[in-house]
Every structure is written in C-alpha cells, then in structure tokens.
Amino acid sequence: MLKIRLRRMGAIRQPHYRIVVADARSPRDGRFIEILGHYNPRTDPATIQVDVAKYEDWKSKGAQPTDAVARLVRQFNRAARQAAAQVEAAQPAQPASRRTRTASGKGVTRPQPTAEAQAEEAAPAEAATEAPAEPAQETAEAEAPALEAATETPAGAPEGAADTDTAV
C-alpha cells in the first residue's frame, strides 16, 4: 500500500518536511517514490508547497494521504483560493461589455475601452509623431569617441604599450 506522508528533513531542532509518496512499510525517513512538495513549520506563517496535480494523480492511483498531509493540502488549497481572490479584488473592475456583430453574423463580446485606456493609447501615438529621428544618430556619434579613446596609447607611455599589455 502506498502512503502520501511527511518525511522529516533538516538539522536537530530545525525540522522541515518533504511531502512524499512512499511504501507504507518503509521507514519514515527511508526510501520514497516521488516528492510532491514541502512543508516548513518554522517560517511565519508556515510555508506549504504542494504539486496538487501530482497529489491528485497519486490519490487516483490508490495512495492514501496521512491525516497530517491531508490537513496541509487543505490549508494549501485554502490559501491558494484566498490569494486568487485577493488578486481579483486588487484588479480594477472590468467595464461593462457590449455585443457587436461580426461579418459572420455571430455576436462577439468585446470590453469597452475606459477613458484611461484611450488616453494611454493616444499618448504614445502623440509622442511618436513628436519624437525626431535624430536620437539614433546621436547614439552612433556618442559611441565613436569611446572607441577612439580605447585604442589610443596613454600619454607618457612608450610607443606600442597599451593598458592590456602584461609583459614587463
């Protein structure tokens, strides 16, 4: 029988755990089949990382999670849902969508652009028309003197000596 359980890692009095799939007969810290995640109770809040797809796959194959692992996976899923909800709440509300007709006659839903989005689209277009084509020439001119300075011999140095010469 396969178990999904915790495998203790870390030093003395500094535990962290791996969530592994192992044979029920192997010792706690012994041979395992696959690592599904890790759990660190010493961080604040405790760090839980689980590959849920692998976890569900092993459960479908008959592996039995221990009580501790089942509790950790529930905690991980709850935290993931809360994080997703916070991300959705942080994003601005989407404007009302409208129905338009396409050439094929089917309705397509498209979001209406907001006033901010229209202003952002207009600003780069205005900047592009105002910007002259001279900056590319300026950068080429700025690079040329740097190349000349690098190839010149330093003042007071004998002819043929360069900064990169290592022979003395």
Q: 2 versus 161: which is more confidently predicted?
A: 2
In a domain, 131, yes or no: no
CATH number at residue 52: 3.30.1320.10
Q: 134 versus 78: which is more confidently predicted?
A: 78
- Would you place residue 107 in the very low, low, confident or very high pLDDT band (cuts 50, 70, 90)? low
Q: What pLDDT sits at residue 88?
A: 85
Q: What pLDDT sits at residue 91?
A: 76
Residue 54 scores a pLDDT above 90:
yes
Q: What pLDDT sits at residue 29?
A: 87
pTM above 0.75? no
d(CA 107, CA 99): 6
In a domain, 132, yes or no: no
In a domain, 7, yes or no: yes
Average pLDDT over residues 140-145: 51
In a domain, 100, yes or no: no
Strand partners, 99: 109
Residue 63 scores a pLDDT above 70:
yes
Q: What pLDDT sits at residue 51?
A: 94
Q: What pLDDT sits at residue 149?
A: 47
In a domain, 115, yes or no: no
Domain count, the chain: 1
Residue whose structure tokens are 């089942």: 70
pLDDT tens profile 113-128: 666 666 666 665 555 5
In a domain, 141, yes or no: no
> Is the separation of the CB atoms in 30 and 20 below 8 Å?
no
What phi and psi, each to the nearest 5 degrees, are found at residue 160?
Answer: 90, -10
What is the domain range of residue 56? 2-90
Q: Which of 51-55, 79-83, 130-134, 157-161 has the highest mean pLDDT?
A: 51-55
In a domain, 66, yes or no: yes
- Would you place residue 75 in the very low, low, confident or very high pLDDT band (cuts 50, 70, 90)? very high
Residue 8 scores a pLDDT above 50:
yes
In a domain, 108, yes or no: no
Average pLDDT over residues 21-43: 93
As given in the structure block, the two tokens for residue 152 are 């010149």
User: Dihedral through CA 53, CA 59, CA 65, CA 70, nearest 10?
Assistant: 50
